[in-house]
Amino acid sequence: MITLDRVRKVRSGVTVLEDVSLRAEPRHVIGIMGRNGVGKTTLAHIAAGILRPDAGRIVIDGRDPWADYKTRRLVTFVGHQTLFDPMMTPMQALYFHARIYGVQRASDRIAEVLHVLDVPQPDQKMIFQLSAGTQKKIELAKAFICDSQVYIFDEPTTGLDTATKTVVWSHIRQLAARAAVILISHDSMEVRTLADQVFLLSGGKLQPIEEGFSLGTHHAGETTVRLEIANWNPVLKEELRGLSGVRSVTVHSQRQDPSELIRHLKEQGLVLPEGTPVQVITLDDDASEFLARLGLTPSQAAVIPAPPGPAELILTLANMAALSGVLTWANEKGLNIRRVLADQDAEVTSAPGDAPSASRGDLSE
C-alpha cells in the first residue's frame, strides 16, 4: 500500500503539486489523467521515491522511503522512456534490475517476459541501438519480472502497437490482482479500461472523477466496441459471448478471397458439383437464426464453420471494465487485434501504418 499525504512540490517558482493526497491499496488500480505539463510525471516520481516533495509525506507499507531507503524496493516505477544504461543489452539491464529487487530465477523470468513482449535477440544489441518501441518494451519488462507491492506506470503504452498494448494491459491487470497500481496516462481508453478509480490532475490538485463519467465521451453504462481481428475463428464466438460483461457479439467477415473458403469447405467433406456455378453464403452470425428464417431446423442442414480469417466484431459491453477481460481473453486465444474502436466515436488503438479514421477523434498517440 502507498499513501501520499498533502504533498506539495514547487519547480522553477511554479507550484506543480498543491496539497495532493492519494491512497493506493492492493488489488486496486488508480488512474490519473491530465493535460501535458500539469505535473503527472512529477507526481509519479514523488510516489516512486525518485523526487523528494517540498512538503507532505509518502508512506509505503507503513514506512517513509526517504528515511528507510530499502522501502523503495517495494515500488517498481515504469517511465515513459527507459531509464536503463543505453550501453547495456536488454538482458544485462534487466538482470541488473532483477538483482537489485531480489528476483528469483531471474534469467528464466526475463527470457519469458521478453518473449511475451516480442523482443527478439535481447542479448545481441545495446539498448541505444533499438527502436523507441522496443526500448519501451524493455522499460515495461521491469515491472513484469518483479514481485513488488506497488507499481507506478507513467504512459505505459505510448508508441506501442495494438498487439503489444493488449499484452501490456493484460499484464497490468495481473499485477493488480495482488498489488497496488498507479496508472498515469493521457489515453482515456486505457484509464477507463484498467482503473478502478480515476483522478484528474489540474491546477496542482487531484480531482476525483465520479463513477459514470466516461472521461471525455460522457457515455455511461453500456458501451459498443468494435474489434478488427486479422485471424478471427468463428468457433470462438460462443466462448466470447460467455465472458463477464459481454452483452452481445456480432461478427462481420472481411474475407476477400472466396477460394480460401471453398477450399475449406472441400476439406470439410462438402462435394461441389463440377461445371455448375456455386454460390457460397458465409454465416457470420447465428446459423440457427438464419435457418429459422428459411423454415429449417438445424437437423435439416449441415452447418460448417468458416475458417479463421479477418473480421470485424461488434461487442456490446456492460461497461468499459469488461473490455480488459475481452482483450486478455483474445490474447490468450492468439487473436491478432488490428484495431479497437470504442463508443463509435473514438479510435483507441491502431496497428502500425493504419491511418486513424477521419470521423473519429484519436485517443491514442
Which domains does the chain show, CATH number per domain? Answer: 2-209 (3.40.50.300), 223-362 (no CATH)
- Return d(Cα 4, Cα 21) in angstroms, integer: 5
Give pLDDT, residue 122. Answer: 81
Phi/psi of residue 54, nearest 5 degrees:
-80, -30
* Separation of CA 323 from chain center: 9
Residue the block writes with cell 493506493: 24
Give pLDDT, residue 200. Answer: 86
- Return d(Cα 257, Cα 277) in angstroms, integer: 17
Per the structure block, which three cell numbers stand in for 292? 429459422
- Return d(Cα 143, Cα 177) in angstroms, integer: 14
Phi/psi of residue 346, nearest 5 degrees:
-150, 125
What is the value of pTM for the model shown?
Answer: 0.65
Per the structure block, which three cell numbers stand in for 231? 485471424
Query: How confident is the chain (365 residues) per 10-residue block, as mean pLDDT?
Result: 91 89 91 86 90 91 82 87 87 90 87 87 86 90 90 90 83 89 87 86 82 42 80 87 89 64 63 53 54 64 68 85 78 80 47 32 29
- Return d(Cα 121, Cα 100) in angstroms, integer: 23
- Per the CB < 8 A criterion, the answer to whether 116 and 145 are in contact is no
Give pLDDT, residue 334. Answer: 84
Give pLDDT, residue 303. Answer: 58
Per the structure block, which three cell numbers stand in for 228? 478488427
- Per the CB < 8 A criterion, the answer to whether 314 and 284 are in contact is no
Helix (H) or strand (E) holding 205: strand 205-209
CA distances from 292 to 65, 270, 279 (A): 67, 22, 20
- Return d(Cα 87, Cα 13) in angstroms, integer: 36
